[in-house]
Chain A
Amino acid sequence: MRFAEKSASAQVGPQADVVVSSRVRLARNVAGFPFVARSSDLQRQEVMQMVTRAPLGNEFGSGLTWVNMSQTTPLERQLLVERHLVSRHFAESVIPRTVGVDTEETLSVMVNEEDHLRIQTILPGFRPVDAFNEARKLDVAMEATVDFSFSTRWGYLTACPTNVGCGVRVGVMLHLPGLRYTGEMERVKRAAKDMHLAMRGFYGEGTEAVGNFYQVSNQLTLGCSEDDLIRRFAEETVPHLVDYERSARAMLAENNRPLLDDKVHRAVATLRAARLLGAEEATKLLANLRLGICMQVIKDVELELVQRLLLQVQPAHLARIDPAATDEDKGRLARASMVRLALRG
């Protein structure tokens, strides 16, 4: 299995100081079949065939590369999760399933996740509108040959009724250390709940916000059009959160400069000196280095390098570079060595 040279989640895009990446996911089900959980393996395979054979037209260049998940190794599945191309649930599932990925790794289609299709786009930085337009393009191309379950009352019918309607989930991965270090995080979480937003950890539902990275996405999918939903998210919701984080950072720099400097310099010193580094520890330290770069505390390290390292320190990515790193102790050694080398001043 081949991966793109640069994962979208390892690049730097607009408003990168706070917004790491933008993601849109569309949930669709093929008409005439039970939903995935209630389908037989034969029906699941039939859906896979229908979707993978659907002609997508010239707009998608060389098209999607389909990866049959049953034929992947555990390492490849973990790589797909770390690159945010598939969900953990999808990687760990044992039913017939496949994922289609484009060459840039901005577009992916999971077949037989919770819904028959999960069309997903991920772009670096703050680009929710572009992400939606890309996902919608593939949606339209699929619709030309595949009938989706739809009712005029409920919209696109999904396995979980919380996704029914337009079936659109738009989200951003935010870096919110300012809000965390100024003690504002609980207030933000409450506000997010009131605004019907979900706040999840680094790898989505049920995962922790390691390094103060949070995935923020809409919870409502019914009663407003896709365009309104995306516009509100892009023009109101996220800018509000981004402003809040920037104010918190400014407040931190003004009122508690030693704390900020300590967090950043301690992280840099550890990253440049450590001989053993776990994935979670490395993520937390790189996140503080990221904050230091964005607040111009650190000027000799590029943000893009940190973004790339945040991906490369993850277990499967490390194991791909150094196969011996699958062993936990050797992995810690290899991770520390890789980070030291990359940050050599």
Chain B
Amino acid sequence: MKCDLCNNPSVVHEVVIKSGVTTEVHLCSEHAAAKGYQVPTAPVKQLLAQFVGQTPTIHVTTRRDAIGQTRCPGCGLTFSEFRQTGVLGCPGCYEAFMPQIGAVIERAQAGAVHHVGRSPLRTEGVADRAALRQRLLHEINAAVAAEQYERAASLRDQLQSMGESGTA
């Protein structure tokens, strides 16, 4: 989206609804600074990347590197590295390497593909928190893609307030 006052891309977006009338403001960094808006120094994506970096077991999507190698976004392990050592890098690898890892497990576990048995006493909490974290991360991504930066920041605050525990 372009700045209301010039052709540069806008970085500040404001929607004001007053007496039923909606006014939208879209400004580039220069015009936003001139009008007294606080301009973000780092893009939200960068902010998000920094946050995701702090929680290596949480990831949004599986990455593929230059040679098309599946790489766990949580710990950076590639599937071929796993095949060499037989050891995964983090809990997130289980999701990152699907469906290959599912086939490995199925072979090793005589066809079993689902856990049957006890769960940690606090599993429900852990599982719920992990699911919520994943959902929040997806929503943050969607908000950033739609340039809803205030919403993204608010979601990020929610995610941070959950603490570090709870992975799936």
Q: Which residues of A contact B (CB under 8 A)?
A: 29, 31-35, 37-38, 114, 140, 143-144, 147-157, 159-162, 164-166, 196, 219-229
B137 → chain A closest CB, angstroms:
15
- A183 to B118 Cα, complex, angstroms: 41
Closest to A165 in B: B115
- Shortest 6 CB-CB contacts between residues of A and residues of B: A223-B112, A155-B115, A225-B117, A38-B89, A34-B90, A222-B109
Contacts of B116 in A (CB 8 A): 165, 222-225
Q: B59: shortest Cβ distance to chain A, in Å?
A: 12
**Roughly how many angstroms separate A220 CA and B111 CA in the complex, as a whole number?**
10
If A38-B75, A150-B123 touch, does A161 touch B166 (CB 8 Å cutoff)?
Answer: no
Q: Which residue of A lies closest to B58 (CB)?
A: A32
Question: Any chain A CB within 8 A of the CB of B127?
Answer: yes
Of A150, A222, A227, which contacts B127 at CB under 8 A?
A: A150
> With A29-B91, A34-B56, A161-B101 in contact, is A223–B166 under 8 Å at CB?
no
CB of A143 within 8 A of CB of B109, answer: no
Does B164 have its Cβ within 8 Å of any Cβ on chain A?
yes
| Contacting pair A154 B115 (CB below 8 A) | yes
Would you call A220 and B109 a contact (CB within 8 A)? Answer: yes
The listed residue (B89, B105, B118) touching A161 by CB distance below 8 A is: B105
Which residue numbers of B lie inside 8 Å of A, CB to CB? 55-57, 74-75, 77, 85-91, 94, 101, 104-105, 108-123, 126-127, 130, 164-168
Sample of 17 A–B contacts (CB below 8 Å): A33-B57, A34-B56, A34-B89, A35-B87, A35-B88, A38-B90, A143-B122, A147-B120, A147-B126, A150-B123, A151-B127, A151-B168, A157-B91, A165-B112, A165-B116, A222-B114, A229-B117
Structural contact, A223 and B113, CB atoms closer than 8 A: yes
The docked-state distance in angstroms from the alpha carbon of A329 to that of B165 is: 55
Which residues of chain A come closer than 8 Å to B111, judged between CB atoms? 223
In-complex Cβ contact of B166 among A143, A147, A159, A221 (8 A): A147
Q: Write the chain B residue with the least CB distance to A161.
A: B105
Q: Nearest residue in A to B125 (C-beta to C-beta)?
A: A147
Complex Cα–Cα for A151 and B93 (A): 12
The reply to whether B115 and A37 form a contact with Cβ atoms under 8 Å apart is: no
Q: How far is the CB of A199 from chain B (nearest CB, A)?
A: 17
- Contact between chains at B87 and A154 (CB < 8 Å): no
Q: In the assembled complex, which residues on chain A have CB atoms less than 8 Å from the CB atom of B90?
A: 33-35, 38
| Smallest beta-carbon distance B110→chain A, Å | 6
Contact assessment for A149 and B122 in the assembled complex, using a CB-CB cutoff below 8 Å: no
Report whether B165 and A31 are in contact in the complex, using a CB–CB cutoff of 8 Å: yes
Q: How close is A11's CB to chain B, nearest CB, in angstroms?
A: 30
Would B112 and A153 count as touching, CB distance under 8 A?
A: no
Set of chain A residues within 8 Å of B87, measured between Cβ atoms: 35, 37, 114, 159-160
Q: A147-B126, A151-B127 are in contact. Are A31 and B57 (CB under 8 A)?
A: yes
- Residue contact A159 to B88, C-beta cutoff 8 Å: yes
| Complex Cα spacing A289 to B119, Å | 45
User: Which residues of B are found within 8 Å of A154, using beta-carbon distances?
Assistant: 94, 105, 114-115
Given the contacts A35-B87, A150-B126, A220-B109, A226 and B75 also touching, CB distance less than 8 Å = no
- Which of B57, B104, B117, B121 contacts A32, CB < 8 Å? B57
Most chain A CB within 10 A, of B87, B111, B120, B123, is at: B120
| A166 contacts across to B, CB distance below 8 A | 115, 117-118
Q: Is the CB of A34 within 8 A of B108?
A: no
Interface centre among A33, A155, A161 (most CB of B within 10 A): A161
Q: Given that A150-B120, A160-B87 are known contacts, is A220 also in contact with B110, CB under 8 Å in the complex? A: yes
- Could you tell me the distance between the alpha carbons of A224 and B111 in the complex, rounded to whole angstroms? 12
Within 8 Å CB of A144, what residues of B?
A: 121
B118 engages A226 (CB within 8 Å): yes
- Residues from chain B with a CB closer than 8 A to the CB of A140 are 121
Q: Return the chain B residue nearest A224 by Cβ.
A: B116
Chain B neighbourhood of A31, CB < 8 A: 57, 91, 126, 165-167
Q: Which residue of A lies closest to B121 (CB)?
A: A143
